[in-house]
Structures are given as structure tokens and as C-alpha cells.
Amino acid sequence: MSAGANGDGPSRSARDRAAAAGTGAIASAHQLVDAVGALVDQAIDRVMLTGERITSAADAKRALAGEADTEAMADNIQRVVLFAVPVVRRVARGARFTRVPWVMVASSTVSIMVAVRTGIREIQVLAALAAHRIEMATGGPADTELVRKLAVDLYLDPKRTPDLSDDRLRLIRLTRTWVFRGALGRNTSRRAGEALATAERIDVAALAAHWAATRRSGGDALRRGELQPGAD
């Protein structure tokens, strides 16, 4: 009896296709998060290298109301969208019993592009305000990694003071915020406004001191062999 006759062949083929699809989905999601990380790095590095600074939340809101110049980041923005659209459509196809698929599939490329362009500009402006406040409070240049951490954490949780005990960027959550909210047509302007208000009032001097102390102690521990490079 052939494999097809007893059902093993088609069944195995279906399982293989499902496994391949699952592997492809995971790979696409990883590529998407990596692309968002590269975009955030470029955006904040640009703020730090060009010396762009925002002195108040009010100035930041005026900057966001103006025309955003994201031309220098166009390639990385397009890369995020390139990976995001198939991921969103795959999620939408899996949500068969809700209204989400039809909303998410329609015009997803344009809506995600707008969300990412808007979001990365919001991150940049937030970083420019955080860098200014750190420099005024400490009298020295702001640490780029600290600025990056503050900007992303404040953007994601604008009502909470960032926890610097973990220096990893929450890129998966940032990706979900931009990609899926964008696909659903929801903007992030309110979230950005709250983040700017928090950035203006938090004790950046204390945060900078804590950050520096944590980095020093981490370096000492690494030299003693208590930590391994790249460990979580």
C-alpha cells in the first residue's frame, strides 16, 4: 500500500508545510525586531552625533507638530515595513473569528509606514529632551546608551520612571506598539506627549548616577569573571 493510500504521505506533507510555515514566521519576527533595533540605534545615534537637543516638553511637542525629516533613515524605515507587512498579514489570517483581519490587511503597508515614521521621530525628540536634561544636570555629555534606554522605556511606559537595573531595550514591545497599532490605525501621539512630560520632570541626575554606578560595578564583576560577555 502506498504512503498516499494510508494517509501518512499527505499527513506528513501537511505537517512539514506547517512546520516550515512556523519556522518562517519565527524567522520573519526576528528579522522584524532586528530591523526595529537598527532603526532605533540609527535614530538616537543621529541625535547624539548632530547635537540635536530639545529643552522642554513644550518645545518637543512643537517639534513633533512640524514637518519630520526622516530622509536619512528612509532605508531602515522601509526595511522595518518590509518585514512587518507579512508578519501582520500572517497574524490577521490566524485571527479568523474577529474583525481584526479585515482591518489589519487593508492598506497595511501605508499605515505601518506612517506609524513607524511617526514613532521613530517621537523617539528621537524624546531622546533629544532626555540628552539635554542629562547634560544640564551632570555638566557633561550624556551617555548614548542611557539616552537610548530612557527614550525607549519612557515611550513604552510614560507614567513610570525607567528601571535601569536591566539595560536591555524592550524592542519586542516597541515593535508591537508600532507595527500592530499602526496596522489598526491607532496613533501614538498621546503616549508620546505623556512620555515627554515625564522626561521633563524625572530626576535625571539620580538616574545618570545610578546608570554610571551600575556600569562600573558590572565592569568590575566582568573583570573578576563573575559575569560573562553577552549574558542576560
Query: Considering the domain boundaries, does residue 131 fall inside one?
Result: yes
DSSP state of 102: H
Q: Give Cβ neighbours of residue 122 (< 8 Å, ≥ 6 apart).
A: 64, 155, 188, 189, 192, 195
Rounded to whole angstroms, the Cα distance separating 110 from 94 reads: 21
Query: Considering the domain boundaries, does residue 230 fall inside one?
Result: no
Look at the chain and report how many structural domains it folds into: 1
Query: Considering the domain boundaries, does residue 148 fall inside one?
Result: yes
Q: How many residues are there in the chain?
A: 232
The helix/strand/coil state of 177 is: helix
- Whole domain around residue 16: which residue ranges? 12-223
pLDDT tens, position by position, for the chain (232 residues)?
Answer: 445 545 455 455 544 443 444 445 566 889 999 999 999 999 999 999 999 999 999 999 999 988 777 888 999 999 999 999 888 877 766 555 445 444 555 557 888 888 999 999 999 999 999 999 999 999 999 999 999 999 999 999 998 889 898 888 999 999 999 988 877 777 888 999 999 999 999 999 999 999 998 887 764 433 333 333 333 3
Query: Considering the domain boundaries, does residue 5 fall inside one?
Result: no
How many other CB atoms are found less than 10 A from the CB of residue 215?
Answer: 15
Query: Considering the domain boundaries, does residue 3 fall inside one?
Result: no
Query: Considering the domain boundaries, does residue 4 fall inside one?
Result: no
- pTM (predicted TM-score): 0.77
